[in-house]
Structure 1
């Protein structure tokens, strides 16, 4: 059976492709969570990996949940509320936890619609580049649901409370141009240029030393919720490790001679 998440490599950059076009690249289910967690663990263990690009196969990024299964009452959607509660914790809610412990920067290359949990998955990434055909929708309320995957936390971090509230309470679609204006994405490019632009950004990240890069990401993540004193203490502990890195010495010596 095909993997729900294909992983390939180009130099120091991994490309993760959600590969379920027949179901709108649905990301629910334990098999996707298993593969996503494994990809995170493998990237964390390999210090040669310095950046990740996440995209979707076909014409969309991901539609999030499998709406057909919901409508037909299949799988967990036919179970009682307590079983469903546990299932959310052991499937879709594993994604935000895995995404936040990924040690290297991750770029969402949003090639089309990012809907519901798909929108939230894009928000879990550190950076986002959108195709002109991309769109984002925190669409849960339109089908009588809530963000069950931590989207209310991530979306607010990216666009602020007022815009997150607008998206959450209306479920309306946000097109690529609006996403750029709102700061959801840093670039909007032609569809055929999307992966080229994502690789260009990933290469700018990957040219930097691996260990300080991972520590810098950790500081940024902690800064979302930690106090200034906590972040300063972490930085004071991390910086001596960076000073001892041979690549730091090599780069400082090179800079001194230029």
Structure 2
């Protein structure tokens, strides 16, 4: 794997760190894209994991694409550029869509352009009070080629998504909290502990139930109620057969018996 991504696993939680602080963790080339896709594939395939955290090394979460790479793309023909996006950065949101465990974005600093979209690909976002967020493509005469319009419209109220996408203006951490882009704020020195506390609360639950619940929530965004009810019935039927459920039921019954 490229040195762009580092993974640390402990107690059912994987911490994924974008590790190019010298570029503000920009997704600069194919090796960066591949590193993210590979990391997501690896943690999804690890049955010992129940949650993951994505963060950035240094003062930035992710600065999006590099200006140098954008300049190179601008010199190519439209057909080649379209294929570059399809086979390149668009693999990242597809990889997030396939992952079975919840991912928490610990946004430690600026999340700009594709960096904001990367945070929106995660299931939950917590932010440092120093974080800033911008869907800045329009300022460069571009659109979000990585699916940012789809992501923003599912993360924010529609009017807020339009405002961010159409102005390209940055918002600070408190505004992101007020708008619902992030669910928790923390002082910079407490950000990772805040994210870890949330990840531990998730990881304390049976792994199969965590993965199934994530799948159901994901499915609810894309399917009808009838389809989700059918999927829920299938998953619940399987969940009832697990030893983790039986053990939890025994513990709950014992607690109720003790109180009565």
**TM-score by structure 2 length?**
0.95
Equivalents in 2 of 1:114, 1:241: separation in Å? 39
Please tell me whether the aligned partners of residues 28 and 91 of structure 1 are also in contact (alpha carbons under 8 angstroms).
no
Equivalents in 1 of 2:189, 2:123: separation in Å? 22
1:84: which partner in 2? 81
Report how many aligned residue pairs link the two structures: 255
What are structure 1's unaligned runs of at least 5 residues? none
2:172: which partner in 1? 175
Q: CA deviation at 1:90?
A: 1.2
Equivalents in 1 of 2:11, 2:244: separation in Å? 18
- What per-residue deviation string (whole Å, max 9, x for no partner) do you get for residues 74-132 of structure 1? 3x443221111111111110110001111000000000000000001101110000000
**Cα RMSD (Å):** 1.2
1:236 aligns with 2:233: yes
Give 1:149's match in structure 2, choosing from 142, 146, 169.
Answer: 146
1:249 aligns with 2:246: yes
Please tell me whether the aligned partners of residues 93 and 148 of structure 1 are also in contact (alpha carbons under 8 angstroms).
yes
1:114 aligns with 2:111: yes
2:56: which partner in 1? 56
Equivalents in 2 of 1:99, 1:77: separation in Å? 27
Q: CA deviation at 1:28?
A: 4.2
1:191: which partner in 2? 188
Give the secondary-structure state (helix, strand or coil) at the position aligned to 1:14: strand
Equivalents in 2 of 1:168, 1:219: separation in Å? 28
Please tell me whether the aligned partners of residues 2 and 31 of structure 2 are also in contact (alpha carbons under 8 angstroms).
no
Give the secondary-structure state (helix, strand or coil) at the position aligned to 1:257: helix
Q: CA deviation at 1:68?
A: 3.1
Please tell me whether the aligned partners of residues 112 and 136 of structure 2 are also in contact (alpha carbons under 8 angstroms).
yes
**TM-score by structure 1 length?**
0.96
Equivalents in 2 of 1:60, 1:126: separation in Å? 20
